[in-house]
Amino acid sequence: MLVPAEVWTVAKAEQGNAVLIRPVGSDMAVPIFIGPAEAQSILIGLGNVQMPRPLTHDLLITVAKNLQTTINRIEITELKEGTFYGRLILQREDDEISIDSRPSDCISIAVRVKCPIYIDEGVVDEAGISVDVVNQKPISRSVQTESELSNLKHMLDIAVAEENYEEAARLRDQIKELEEKL
């Protein structure tokens, strides 16, 4: 049975990066290990960071909109031989379309469009860990801010190269504010 869930955090562990999905109201979270690019994409979505050009997940969202399809929800459906499986559920008129997907891609899309996230209770039972025993420091606002800072600096470089000095000044001010937080 699928239950509502949320992205609890993105964390660094000895094994790499993990996104922790927590069923709503639960003291358990499911760590899904992902690569650095996937972690960055999820953090960009969580931080509402605007990129100068669309990333792959932004492109998919735009394609769905242009095809008059909405992203209804994502589902993390099973765990087989150490691999998590997910589905992206789209809605077009009265039709629901289910697309097989890596959970990290589903999550990257979900955090951008703010659609519901669901996880199978069996997956939580099999792979869930108590949130109290998460030993590694989660990627907190400060690390998320560092990621956002890196993206803003990249955008600043682009604005300067394009001689868009008003945008460059705005980005410079945002960078300054974030650096004061760190």
Mean pLDDT over 61-71 rounds to 95
Report for 34-48, 77-91, 163-177: range of highest mean pLDDT: 77-91
Angstrom distance (rounded) from CA 30 to CA 123: 8
Residue 54: what pLDDT? Answer: 87
Annotated domain spans of the chain: 2-135, 140-182
pTM (predicted TM-score): 0.74
Mean pLDDT over 165-169 rounds to 83
Angstrom distance (rounded) from CA 99 to CA 74: 10
Two structure tokens written together for 156: 């600043």
As assigned by CATH, the class of the 2-135 domain is alpha beta
Which DSSP state fits 173? H
Two structure tokens written together for 103: 């959970």
Contact present, 55 and 44 (Cβ < 8 Å) = yes
